[in-house]
Structure 1
Amino acid sequence: MNESISSNEAAEMSGESGAQHQNIARAALILEALAGCARQGLRLTDVSRITGLSKTVAHRGLAGLVAHGMATYENESARFFLGDRLFAWVGRAGERFELAERAKPYLLKLAEELEDTIYFAIRRGDESVCYGRAEGSFPIKTLTLNVGDRRPLGIGSGSLAIAAYQDDAEVERLIREYSAARARFQRADALIRDDVRRAREEGFSLTEGYFIEGMTGVGVPIRNSHGIAVASLSVAAISKRLELPRRQQVAARLKVEAALMERELSLLFAQL
């Protein structure tokens, strides 16, 4: 039996796939908008404005989400909210995200000691994902990442700490393949190579004024049992708080906590 498909069939399948991806992307946009206003909910006009979707498309997407339990509609206020089904999914996904919960005490301890914002990131594919954040008591805060934010590897102190300690071939692949993805962060290939070289020389990553003028980040890798950098701890603060010699002291403190996490959470890091 000949199982090959014609060019017309291939084009039709490609079109169907594209439409499915578009529908998923729209649903994700709407869910993100609802999550951002989880307490007060959103009217249809709000969803349309936040997502950039037309009212017709937004209404169709909301209706589908409500039908499948991923959103709810309140008649009295004419507002949409996140649905209960998402809560059930979070519970079922708890094991996968156990690492985020287990990392919290380490982040809180560092934030209390250093008084600045602490970030925990993991590698997912060729991106870093912010898996945790703890805010210190210093009144000027540098909140450059939210939990769940993703960045190309090499962008930001935590992400750079993961990228810099890959082997040379992997670093070059990341630089070469994700040059376009880094363009909006204004980090050209040559600059990333300099960042990697400096991180390896100093033993920690350093970003000074990359995203916000007057803000500095310092990061260290967290390795799995095979010695591969799979996550990172980093601190972000106004630059005056991370000048020498405190910068080195902070990096040393991060390394101590990273080593502790490597030892105590080794089984979870083995899954990354």
Structure 2
Amino acid sequence: MIPAQSTQKSFDVLRTLAAHGATGASLAEISEAVALPKPTVHRLLAAMVQQGFALRAATGRRYQLGPEVYALALRSQSTVGLVETWRGALMRVAERTGDSAFLMVRSGYDAVCLAKQDGLVNVRTLTGGVGGRIPLGIGPGSLAILSTLSEDEANTILAHNDRRLRMAVPDLPESLPSWVERIRADGFAQSGGLFLAEVGGVAVPVPRHLGVPECAISTATLASRLDEPRVAEVVAILREEIATVIGKTAGA
């Protein structure tokens, strides 16, 4: 591999380790996920272990994220600051709606859950919780983020994510460009049962402002709770809380 490709594959390995969580991933699982031969993956993992970005489990047969990843995250004031900025809003959204609330942030071609506040109604989510990532194009939070991008940039992302999107919903990519366009017009995204059976959600994008990545505040609840009046109510709450935070940060 040329250096740029090697760097990209190293990131893919780290994301695979993150996806497997505490159970870790075997060499074979990582090799399949990143589409590289086992010897190549083994060399990448050896370098990561040496630098603290990966750990070998006690059995020696599985790999996990290493402590250096956590240490770097703790030193990232931009991420910490973003979470602290929106933590209060998430708490209020969860309290006012009874649903779980999430801060979703763009990370390349994906959306990452940076923070979550449980509501009275807890359901299974696409990200699995804080730190989870999904391809842009799946779920209301990521769709809301896509709607803040130009049409060309959004379509480029959707084309890049095509295979992953089809794995979730086979005919999804064909409908996404028009779906994103409608979200741009409406100012919010919603889904009910498409991505996860009986699970629905609503999301409103955060207006872009200096130094802040594309992000959205979203909710997750039972799809049966999201009739039209209920969606309008949740959207109003999300917009109100977002406006409150933007107003405070603008005046700081």
CA, structure 1 residues 38+24, in 2 after alignment: closer, same or farther (shift >3 Å)?
A: same
Match of 1:122 among 105, 110, 116: 105
**1:176 and 1:189 in contact (8 A); partners too:** no
Query: Distance in 1 between the 2:31 and 2:21 partners?
Result: 15
Stretch of structure 1 that moved more, 54-63 or 243-252:
54-63
- Show the counterpart of 2:87: 104
Percent of aligned pairs sharing the same letter: 26
1:125-154 per-position Cα deviation (integer Å, ceiling 9, x unaligned): 676443323332325x040125352433x5
Give yes or no for the alignment of 1:249 onto 2:233: yes
CA, structure 1 residues 82+121, in 2 after alignment: closer, same or farther (shift >3 Å)?
A: closer
Deviation at residue 259 of structure 1 after TM alignment: 0.9
| C-alpha RMSD of the superposition | 3.6
Deviation at residue 213 of structure 1 after TM alignment: 4.1
Query: Distance in 1 between the 2:23 and 2:190 partners?
Result: 39
Match of 1:133 among 116, 119, 128: 116
CA, structure 1 residues 204+26, in 2 after alignment: closer, same or farther (shift >3 Å)?
A: closer
1:136-178 per-position Cα deviation (integer Å, ceiling 9, x unaligned): 2325x040125352433x5432233334356xxx23x245434
CA, structure 1 residues 238+59, in 2 after alignment: closer, same or farther (shift >3 Å)?
A: same
Deviation at residue 99 of structure 1 after TM alignment: 0.4
- Show the counterpart of 2:141: 158
**Structure 1: gaps (5+ residues):** 1-17
**1:161 and 1:219 in contact (8 A); partners too:** yes
Query: Distance in 2 between the 1:138 and 1:114 partners?
Result: 9
Give yes or no for the alignment of 1:264 onto 2:243: no
CA, structure 1 residues 234+72, in 2 after alignment: closer, same or farther (shift >3 Å)?
A: closer
AA aligned to 1:88 is A
**Structure 2: gaps (5+ residues):** none
**1:179 and 1:189 in contact (8 A); partners too:** no
Query: Distance in 2 between the 1:64 and 1:121 partners?
Result: 31
AA aligned to 1:234 is S
**1:73 and 1:81 in contact (8 A); partners too:** yes
Normalising by the residue count of structure 1, what TM-score does the alignment of the two structures yield?
0.69
- Show the counterpart of 2:125: 143
AA aligned to 1:197 is R
CA, structure 1 residues 165+240, in 2 after alignment: closer, same or farther (shift >3 Å)?
A: same
AA aligned to 1:145 is T
- Show the counterpart of 2:156: 177
Query: Distance in 1 between the 2:104 and 2:48 partners?
Result: 30
Give yes or no for the alignment of 1:193 onto 2:193: no
AA aligned to 1:177 is T
* Structure with bigger gyration radius: 1
CA, structure 1 residues 179+59, in 2 after alignment: closer, same or farther (shift >3 Å)?
A: closer
Query: Distance in 1 between the 2:23 and 2:175 partners?
Result: 46
Match of 2:193 among 209, 219, 234: 209
Normalising by the residue count of structure 2, what TM-score does the alignment of the two structures yield?
0.73
**1:224 and 1:266 in contact (8 A); partners too:** no
- Show the counterpart of 1:78: 60
Query: Distance in 2 between the 1:191 and 1:175 partners?
Result: 10
